[in-house]
Amino acid sequence: MKLANLLSPDRILLEMKAGEHWPAIVELIDHLVSVSSLEAGLRDEILDALKVREEQVSTGVGYGVAIPHAFSDKLDRVVTILGRSRVGIDFESLDEKPVHFVILFLVPKRDYHLHLQTLAAIAKMFTNIEIRRRLGAAECHQEVLDIFAGKASKPSTPPLV
């Protein structure tokens, strides 16, 4: 599963405003609603599901990454959003370090297997320090999508001919 297929430019926040765990999740959900990627009527239900999940154990998994996720029987597709914070978010992470990347996803209950596939794809990508460095330096939405699609980074200096 390519994460680039789950994201679009309107579902990437290059600079999150929230500085704490729960406000960061609310910011991402509100953004999904504002760009019509999530029905406004589902907002509170989804936030409740995310709250229950976060109360079990923080989804701040380390490496400056958090992966909040929840299920809903009212969704017909996986909904994903990436938020980046250069300052860092206190996400109550397992390693107690600030989170710089929050990738939140919502899965239809009937597609539970997608949850595990999505988690595995995210974990694989974000354990790579070079990927995290490139995502941190990305200046636009398309650059982020290119990283997720596995496209090579542009050289910082032109090659000598």
Which positions are catalytic?
Answer: 69
Alpha helix stretches (DSSP H) within the chain: 21-34, 43-56, 112-126, 129-137, 141-148
CA 30 to chain CA mean position, Å: 14
List of residues 6+ apart from 66 with CB closer than 8 A: 24, 58, 59, 60, 89, 91, 93, 99, 101, 102, 103
